[in-house]
Structures are given as C-alpha cells and as structure tokens.
Amino acid sequence: MVEKIKHFKSRFLQFYQHHEVLVSICFFIIGFVFDLITLGRIDDLVNLIQQAVYLLILGTLLIYEIRIKSGSFMLSEKGKKFWNYHDLIVHFLFGSLLSVYTIFYYTSASAVTSFMFIMLLAGLMLANEIPHFQRIGLPVRIILFSICVLSYFSFFYPILMGHVGAIPFWLGFLTSGLVLGLVWKLNFKGSQSVAFLRRNVLIPAVSVHLFFLAGFYTSLIPPVPVAVKKIGIYYDLVKEDGKYIGSYIGHFWNFWSKGSQEFNSRPGDKVVVILSIFSPSNFQDKVFLKWYFDDPTDGWTLHDSIPLKILGGREAGFRGFGSKSNFQTGDWKVVVETSDGREVGRIKFTIEADDSSSPREFKKDYF
C-alpha cells in the first residue's frame, strides 16, 4: 500500500511538472466551484471563519514564497518536497476566495462603473493562470491577496456595524493596512533585499489599497453587503398573507421583465415600484429611491428621492415600495442608492398614455 502511494505521488509530480499550467488552472477551478457550491449567506459565521482561515494559510504561504525568492530562507529536504505542491494549494485558495468575493460584488453591483470593477476582478483571476503573468508571479499574487484581504474587511465591518458608509469602509481599509503592515514589520523589516521587496511586495500592496480608496469615493466598488434581489414597476400594491403583490400588464415578448417595462397610464393610475433588498441580520440602514425623468431638453432629471429604511435578516430580502401619482409620459428610471450614495439597483420604464377604456387584464407578481 505504501509503495502504491509513493508510486502515485511520483506519477502525479511528473505529470504536474510537465503540465503545470493545466493542473494549476484545474485546482483554481476546483476551488472556485467548491466555494460556489458551498457558499451561504454573506453574514454566515462559518463562512466568515472559513475565509479568515483561508487568508491565514494563503498569507503564510506567500510569506515563505517571498522569503525564498528574496534569499532569506532556505528550504529543508522535507520542505522542498512539500513546496513542490504549494502552488496547487495557493491556486485552490485563490479560486475559493475570489469566487466568494466576485459573487458578492456581482450581486451588489448595478452601475456601469461597478460592473467595470467586477470585470477587472475577473480579469485578475484569469491573469493569474496565464503563463506570461505567472512569470511575473509574485507581484500578481500580492495584488490578488491584497484584494482578498481588503474585500474581507470591507464586508466584515458593515456586517458587524449594521450599515454601510464611510466609517465601516475606513475601518476595513485601516484594518487591512494594519494587518499587512504588521506582516511586513515582523517578516521583512531590515531585510537586505530592499529593492526586491519594494518592487514585488510593497508597491503592489499599496497600489491595491489606493485603488480601493479611489474606488470607494467614485462608487466603483459595489456596496456589499446590500443587494437588490428583485425590483419591478406595478399599477398597485396589495399586502396579503404576509406577501406583497404587485399588478402589472405582461406581454409574451417581454416575459423576462419584472413588472411593467411599458406603463400604459390611464387617469387615476399611479406608478408603484416594489423591491426586495437583501442585507445581513441585525442590519439597519436606509436606501433612497430616486426617480429620474428623461427630459427632452435637460436629459435625466431628478424628480423625487424617497427614503426607505431597510432591516436585514430576511432570506428573500427586506421588502419596500414607493409610488408616484404626478408624472408625465416619457422615459423614466428609478435608481436605488445606499445611504452613502452608491447605486445598488435600478429599473427603467416608459410611461405612455392609454386612451382606451376597455378592461385591462393584470398579472400578479409576488414579493
């Protein structure tokens, strides 16, 4: 049995050495899929602990990689045997962590700028598997690790404090900087490889932190952990058996839409927007429903801003609504913004005059 295990290890190591990129990509995908399948709520304690453990293991491996490449640490014979497989562990952990953060960012993203951030994150994930970037190696991994650490604390403090905004962001930003600063001080301060460390470690880590800082104040970073799960435009709202029921007129050619994308208005009608917003347990914050009209002369013009208090914990999301009775025909949109001004959802619709008096057949949508 022992001989079979040794033979298998030898065969696997030979295969890995000849197909390193392919095996690394496979382990990255396995990590991604593993966390995709096992992913729970963003505020789940087990998930938070799991991410922290992954970051700790990943950080430890990166510290040793930096030491080895800078010449300040030599592996023992047993260490060399383990080190042959460390890339697989690193790829699995990056795949797992980045899948979590990409999914959470994606569910909270709405504006074009936020989707640009998601695409950038996805691009970095793929770059880590491209041979050309793998030759760059360490700086790319430091960038990815810094993103993971910043993302973890960017989620952690809003969950802990029960709201989004500048204070939770800055606490996460400073905590991430403090953690990486302590790692630097305890492991690399006074090192003789100053130029190597500055180029491959310090500059990439600082650059990521500056990017996140700029991204927060330009609304590039989505407002995790808040996410609009469902939103639609309706003719009325009825509360029945604990459910919100919206009435809309549906057409077979836009069955994928939520609510009425084309709102045919008759005298006495009002436009009702209904939405469900997910946020963690014990979360208490406020969003704003901003109604914009596409004015032929002035373009998109803000007409109303309706505050809506949200409470977290409900799996399907906290339900809320806003309505408008005074409106004109044309193109409209309702933008959902967090209390710190970041967009978390939107819906566009067109209001057209309906001069018909024939009965209307409404469909129901449940929240």
Does residue 129 lie in a domain region?
Answer: yes
pLDDT (tens, 9 = 90+) of the chain, 367 residues, equals: 556 655 565 665 566 556 555 665 666 666 566 665 666 677 788 888 989 999 999 999 888 888 887 777 777 777 777 777 777 788 778 877 877 887 777 777 665 555 667 677 666 666 655 656 555 678 888 888 999 999 999 989 998 888 888 999 999 999 999 988 888 887 777 666 777 888 888 889 999 999 999 988 888 888 888 888 888 899 999 998 888 999 988 755 455 555 567 888 999 899 999 998 888 877 888 899 999 999 999 999 999 999 988 887 777 778 889 999 888 999 999 999 988 888 888 889 999 998 888 888 888 888 9
Do both 273 and 195 map to the same domain?
no
Residues 6 or more apart whose CB falls under 8 angstroms from that of 258 comprise: 230, 231, 232, 347, 365
Is 162 in the same domain as 264?
no
DSSP E strands in the chain: the ranges are 227-234, 236-240, 243-248, 262-265, 271-278, 284-295, 299-311, 318-324, 330-338, 343-353, 363-366
How many structural domains comprise the chain? 2
Q: How many whole angstroms separate alpha carbon 289 and alpha carbon 291?
A: 6
* Same structural domain, 64 and 195: yes
Task: Identify whether residues 67 and 137 lie together within a single domain.
Answer: yes
Evaluate whether residue 68 is within a structural domain: yes
Pair 165, 290 in one domain:
no
- In a domain? residue 305: yes
- 57 and 173: one domain? yes
Residues 351 and 204 in one domain: no
Residue span of the structural domain in which 198 resides: 2-217
33/157 same-domain check: yes
Position 354 in a domain: yes
CA-only gyration radius of the chain, Å = 25
Q: What is the CATH number of the domain that holds 358?
A: 2.60.40.10
Q: Is residue 222 part of a domain?
A: no
Residues 135 and 197 in one domain: yes
- In contact, 100 and 106? CB cutoff 8 Å: no
Residues 264, 120 share a domain: no
Which residue type is seen at 69? Answer: K
What one-character DSSP code corresponds to residue 252? G
Judgement on whether residues 201 and 232 belong to the same structural domain of the protein: no
Is 46 within a domain?
A: yes
Task: State which of 178, 195, 217 marks the end of a domain.
Answer: 217
